[in-house]
A and B are shown apart, each in its own frame.
Chain A
Amino acid sequence: MESFKIRLAMKNLLWIQGLSCNGNTQSILNAENPQIYELFSKINLLYHPSLSVENNVLDIVEDIYRDRLSLDFLVVEGAITNNKNFHKIGDYSIGEIIEKLKNKARYIIAIGNCAVFGNIPSLYKENKDIKGLQFKFKEKEGFLPSDFKTSSGYPVINIPGCPSHPAWFTQTIITLYYEKPLILDKFNRPKELFMYLSHDGCIRNEYFEWKYEAEEFGHKEGCLFYNLGCRGPITHAPCNKILWNRVSSKTRAGMPCIGCTEYDFPLRENYFETKKNIGIPEEVPLGVSKRAYITISGVAKTLKNERVSKKLEETD
């Protein structure tokens, strides 16, 4: 009886999926500090499509809708559509489920680039009605109106990434759990996480500064910006601050950042190639004009840094 009371007093979380590859679920299963079971010992997990065996999601949705059950956190993974040929939960489209729950949840959290921006599912030519919760790519033309807010006063809180890092999710949930304020950026991403660029903290910064460019993947030396398409200086994500599996990141391992936390992630081509015009990158690091970029690169290249031109093992 005692434990039942505690559970009643606990905050509830419902995780639902739209058009999704399940990637964010896979990611969250790898959460550490807190681990997923630690998180859900504090928060009552009403239902998760990959974890729940006994509970029926439609009963839970109905109970929330009829105010028989409170909903603190609605977590949505995957893009949203009203077209049942593309996605169905029972007899409902994912859009209809969101409609039922949108005014019941204290917080709605979109997890992963599909729920945030529509991402790859939004490229379907056969169905134009696939969106993120509050955005479709760059535009605030998602499934929910642009001025939509939940009862907490927040819009949909966006945690993009393809997939997102488990700590981005747990950190956000814990902040909200303790009713601490969250500052959001213009894409409604928590600033605490997304004010960093994935370039920040990359161990290749020295090569970036001196314009020593890698020609191949996987080497310890060289920056991946100029030849191999690295989006680090253009992408908001703390990938080199909060490491993946606590040990590494793409760019540390010698693979370029592919910009998967940004709205235009699926809109680009040739992910492993830097688009250049006459040898000049079409897109330059954030905050810098092309004129400034060309000037500083020219100077850096001319001045040369002995250290970066050597294999790391051969440096003094």
Chain B
Amino acid sequence: MPRTAKKERKKLEIIKTACKLFAEQGYYNTTIPDIADALNMSVGNLYNYFNSKEELAKYIMQYSSKLLGEEIKKINEIDISTREKVFLLVKRFIEIAEENPELIDYFLRVFLSNREVFSEGCEGFLCVQEVVTEIMLFLEEGVRKGDLRNQDLFVAFVSIMGPLGGIVFLKGEGMLMKEPIEYADELAENIWRALKSD
């Protein structure tokens, strides 16, 4: 395996472990030695990958944004109707959340709860740019084709992301009666109704 690929794989391992610890113990209660310990790594070696806890925290957001952004990009590029795209988007989001529960936990318990950590270099949409960009492209295309209403960008944006965030939050709280994926079509129908042009 080439060195960079190996390094990337190791980074991914660090992210997954760090995510879990941050979400479970809280951002401030988790130290770099804790993370290194959990990974059977020396602290010095961990610093080869990330210069600080803050850098790691931001990188996790960028990584998650890339992961989700690339998936939405794929959907954006498929030649299907806008309605079908909404359904696919909801389904893929829930699948990704199920595949990476630690990222969702991290997003809800660290990113949204410790904004001060992200105030420099991650402010606004900077660390979640890929997701925001792809959602914007999806909305713009839908409006241009006449399928979606030309409404305020932020209202449209939260009409998509709100329900998605909500359902994975409820899952995390153990409140759902069914598996999240079983709610996908109903959720998608609601989002579609909130966005469609007539």
Contact at B140–A277, with CB atoms within 8 Å? yes
Contact pattern, A 273-316, Cβ under 8 Å of B = 1, otherwise 0? 00011111010000000110011001101110000000000000
Closest to A298 in B: B125
Q: Of B124, B143, B151, which contacts A301 at CB under 8 A?
A: B124
For residue B3, CB closer than 8 A to chain A, the reply is no
| Most B CB within 10 A of own CB, among A277, A278, A282, A291 | A278
Residues of B within 8 A of A277 (CB): 139-140, 143-144, 150
Tell me whether B144 and A295 are in contact (CB under 8 A): no
The smallest C-beta distance from B36 to any residue of chain A, in angstroms, reads 33
B132-186: which residues lie under 8 A (CB-CB) from chain A? 132-134, 136-137, 139-140, 143-144, 148, 150-153, 156
Nearest CB in chain A: distance from B81 CB, A: 17
Residues of A in contact with B, size category: 10 to 19
User: Which residue in chain A gives the minimum CB-CB distance to B122?
Assistant: A302
Please determine whether A278 and B156 come into contact, CB atoms closer than 8 angstroms.
yes
Which residues of the partner chain B approach A291 to less than 8 Å between Cβ atoms? 133-134, 137
- In the docked arrangement, what's the CA distance between A295 and B156, Å? 18
A248-287 interface code vs B (CB 8 A; 1 in, 0 out): 0000000000000000000000000000111110100000
What distance in Å separates the Cβ of A291 from its nearest Cβ neighbour in chain B?
A: 6
> Which of chain A's residues have a CB closer than 8 A to the CB of B150?
276-278
A276 to B144, CA, bound (A): 9
For window 87-116 of B, CB contacts with A under 8 Å fall at: none
B126 touches A (CB below 8 Å): yes
Whether the Cβ atoms of A290 and B125 lie closer than 8 Å is no
In this complex, the interface size class of chain B, counting residues with CB under 8 Å from chain A, is 20 to 34
Q: How far is the CB of A282 from chain B (nearest CB, A)?
A: 6
Of the residues B132, B151, B152, B156, contact of A298 by C-beta under 8 Å: B132
Do A280 and B153 have beta carbons less than 8 Å apart? yes
* Least Cβ–Cβ distance between B126 and chain A, in angstroms: 6
Return chain A residues, CB-CB under 8 Å to B125: 298, 302
**What is the chain A residue whose CB lies nearest that of B145?**
A277
Q: Which chain A residues have a beta carbon within 8 Å of chain B's beta carbons?
A: 276-280, 282, 290-291, 294-295, 298-299, 301-303
Known pairs A276-B150, A294-B136, A299-B129; list 18 more (Cβ under 8 Å): A277-B140, A277-B144, A277-B150, A278-B139, A278-B140, A278-B148, A278-B152, A278-B156, A279-B153, A280-B136, A280-B140, A291-B134, A294-B132, A295-B129, A298-B125, A298-B133, A302-B124, A302-B126
